[in-house]
Every structure is written in C-alpha cells, then in structure tokens.
C-alpha cells in the first residue's frame, strides 16, 4: 500500500525514527508500517553533532538508499530546507525519490537550519517556501511521492502566522501539513480545528521538546494522521551506550553488562545471518 493510500485511513500512522539499516529492520520487525529517517538522527549518529544543518543532502540520500535496500516499508525522509533555493529543493526531490523515499519533509527555516525544538530559529519568506514546494511537486517522478510541508513559524512569528503560512503551503501543493512545535494542548487543538479534514496532519513527539507528549491514540482522536518519534531511538541507544562504555572501562570485561546486550549469536539472529547465508548457498548450488 502506498503512503498516500495509507493516509486515507482514519487510523493514525506511527512512524518511529530510524537512521540506518539496522534500526529500520528492527522497527519493521516490531510491526511498524511507516518509518521516519530523521536528519537529526543522522547528524547525531553519523557526525556525532547536533541538528544544526550540518548533515548534507548526499549523506541523507546515501542513508536512505541503504535503508531501502534493507526494508520495503514507506519511509518519510527529512529534507531540511531543501538544501538551498527552489532549484535545490527540486534536485533534492529527484535524488531522494530515486533513493527510495516515499515522502519528503521540507521546512521554511533559513539555511543552515536547526532542530525545530531549539530556540533562535529564523524563517524564509512564505512565498519562497511556497516556490520550493511547487518546484518539488513539478520535479517528482510519481504523485505517490508525498510532500510534507513543515513550518517552524510558531516559535518565530506566533501561532496565527504559522497557520497563515500553512495555508500558503497547502495552496502551493503540499500533500501533508506539519506545524512544528505547538506549545500547548490548545495549540495542538487549534491545528486540527483549522486544518483537520482538509489535509493529513503530522505531529512530532520529541522527548523534552516544546510540544506536550501525547500518545498516538490521543493524537488520532484529535485528528492527526501521522505521528513521528524522530530521535527517540538515538536517545535510547545513546543512554545505553553511555552505560555500556562506562561499564567496560570500569570492569575491563562485558560480563557485568551481559544481560543488557545481545551475544554474538543473538545479534546474528536479529539481523538474519543464517537466512542470508542460506540464500547465498542456494544461488551457488544453482
């Protein structure tokens, strides 16, 4: 089922954040129908840096291609600002679409951008953002590849101006609307009151961020179509890694940590080593 068809359902789509083939495979195994390739997660894991616009388009496309080689699920990819003007946004659409993305999320921050839950963001004019959306719509090879328009205007211009920008982006051809970082239950409700039923709406749950954490069931009842948990996996793994390295340094062995990690055969079971080797033998034997 295409993502466009999936969003026609009344049931909310939960998209956990992933950043490589392993996390994508494990999310798929857990039963998720949709994945989110977070630019923040790629910056955190590949660069060891914060989400302040340091990840490049090519790094994201390479990551997307590796995930697509591993799983068949629809993937939303973070396209940041489109990495430049409308022409750059159009090229990003073409490159990401060829890499296997099902939807591109583009935002109206200036470049270099920063995480939507950090302060001191700045925005491009709404007309410029609308032009990027239109250019992406013209550049895509298939209408099944969706454009998710994100505005970060709440923190910069206020809630009403964010909604006004969102209207412009819908007119420009956005398929899904993402109003980033609503600060209260009232603002979350204001989004669905104004746009619910007109266009699929995306909510972003960031642990410790500006938006009150709500469950998928609550967001579905409110009228949202997608909820993403973009960086949760990195925060979970980073906490575990911190504990792991501290334990190894203190003890000089992994024995005290053994109940919190896979052993060699356990990890091979998770990643399907025997299945893949058997497939290779079948080809060798003709």
List pLDDT tens digits, range 132-167: 999 999 999 999 999 999 999 999 999 999 999 999
Structure confidence at residue 205 as a pLDDT band (50, 70, 90): very high
Here the tokens at position 203 are 């909510």
The CA distance from 246 to 251, in Å, is 9
* DSSP structural state of residue 145: S
Q: Please, are residues 36 and 17 in contact by the beta-carbon 8 Å criterion? A: yes
Query: What global pTM score does this model have?
Result: 0.95
Residues 6+ away with beta carbon under 8 Å from 47:
54, 55
Asked if pLDDT for residue 254 goes beyond 70, the answer is yes
Residues 88-121 have pLDDT tens digits of: 999 999 999 999 999 999 999 998 887 767 677 8
| CATH superfamily placement of domain 3-232 | Phosphoenolpyruvate-binding domains (3.20.20.60)
Q: Is 7 exposed, middle or buried (0-12, 13-18, 19+ CB in 10 A)?
A: buried
pLDDT, the chain, mean: 95
Q: Is the pLDDT of residue 176 over 70?
A: yes
CB-based burial label for 69 (10 Å; 0-12, 13-18, 19+): exposed
List, for residues 4-46, the tens digit of each pLDDT value: 999 999 899 999 999 999 999 999 999 999 999 999 999 999 9
Residues 110 and 132: their CA atoms lie apart, in Å, by: 13
Query: What CA–CA distance (Å, rounded) separates 170 from 179?
Result: 12
Whether residue 285 has pLDDT greater than 70: yes
Every domain range in the chain assigned CATH 3.20.20.60? 3-232
What's the confidence (pLDDT) of residue 121? 84
């Amino acid at each position: 089922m295409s993502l466009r068809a999936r969003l026609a359902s009344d049931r909310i789509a939960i998209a956990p954040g992933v950043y490589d083939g392993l996390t994508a495979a494990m999310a798929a195994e857990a039963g998720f129908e949709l994945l989110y390739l977070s630019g923040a997660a790629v910056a955190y894991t590949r660069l060891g840096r914060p989400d302040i616009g340091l990840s490049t388009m090519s790094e994201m496309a390479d990551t997307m291609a590796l995930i697509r080689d591993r799983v068949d699920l629809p993937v939303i990819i973070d396209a940041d600002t489109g990495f430049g003007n409308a022409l750059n946004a159009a090229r990003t659409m073409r490159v990401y679409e060829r890499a296997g993305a099902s939807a591109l999320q583009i935002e109206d921050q200036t470049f270099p951008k920063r995480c939507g839950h950090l302060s001191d963001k700045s925005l491009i004019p709404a007309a410029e953002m609308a032009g990027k959306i239109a250019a992406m719509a013209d550049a895509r090879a298939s209408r099944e590849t969706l454009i998710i328009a994100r505005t970060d205007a709440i923190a910069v211009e206020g809630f009403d101006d964010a909604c006004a920008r969102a209207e412009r982006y819908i007119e420009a051809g956005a398929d899904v609307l993402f109003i980033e970082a609503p600060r209260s239950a009232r603002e979350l409700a204001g989004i669905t009151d104004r746009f619910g039923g007109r266009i699929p709406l995306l909510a972003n749950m960031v642990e410790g961020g500006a938006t009150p954490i709500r469950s998928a069931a609550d967001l579905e009842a409110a009228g949202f179509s997608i909820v993403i948990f973009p960086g949760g996996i990195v925060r979970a793994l980073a906490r575990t890694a911190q504990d792991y390295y501290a334990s190894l340094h203190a003890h000089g062995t992994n024995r005290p940590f053994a109940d919190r990690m896979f052993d060699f055969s356990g990890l091979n079971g998770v990643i399907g080593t025997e299945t893949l080797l058997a497939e290779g033998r079948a080809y060798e034997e003709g």
